Amino acid sequence: EAQVTQNPRYLITVTGKKLTVTCSQNMNHEYMSWYRQDPGLGLRQIYYSMNVEVTDKGDVPEGYKVSRKEKRNFPLILESPSPNQTSLYFCASSPQGREETQYFGPGTRLLVL
C-alpha cells in the first residue's frame, strides 16, 4: 500500500530533550516536506527536500533540523525542544513537488512541557 508513515504518532517530552520524528514513504517520491499545524494558523512549511542530500528551509525552520540521506526517509529533528514547538506535525511527499499532489502522513502530536 502506497503510504507515508510517521513515528511516533504522539509524544510528550520536556524542554531541551532532543527528539526525532521519523517520516518514511514507499512511493519513490523525490519531494518530501514537513509542516506544523496550529489553530488559526493553518499548515506552515518547516523544511522541504527536492531529493537526496537536497534540503531547504520553509517558512518556519527555526528550532528544527532535517536530513535526507535516503530517498524514502526524511526525519525531523528538534535539538532542544521548547513549549512553542508544541504542535501537530505532518510529513508529506510528492513525485516532484511543484504542481503535484502531496500525500500526507497521519500526523504526530507533540507536547513539550
State the residues that interact with other proteins by CB under 8 A.
31, 33, 35, 37, 40-45, 48, 50, 56, 58-59, 88, 90, 97-99, 101-102, 104-107
Q: What minimum distance in Å lies between the beta carbon of 47 and other proteins?
A: 11
**Residue with Cβ nearer other proteins (9 or 18):** 9
Within 8 A by CB and 6+ apart from 50, the residues are: 30, 31, 56, 96, 97
For residue 27, give Cα distances in angstroms to 71, 73, 82.
10, 11, 33
**Residue with Cβ nearer other proteins (18 or 109):** 109
Q: What minimum distance in Å lies between the beta carbon of 72 and other proteins?
A: 18
Q: What minimum distance in Å lies between the beta carbon of 38 and other proteins?
A: 9
- Return d(Cα 38, Cα 28) in angstroms, integer: 29
Other C-beta atoms lying within 10 Å of the C-beta of residue 105:
24
Residue whose entry in the numeric block shows the C-alpha cell 513539550: 112
Q: What minimum distance in Å lies between the beta carbon of 43 and other proteins?
A: 4
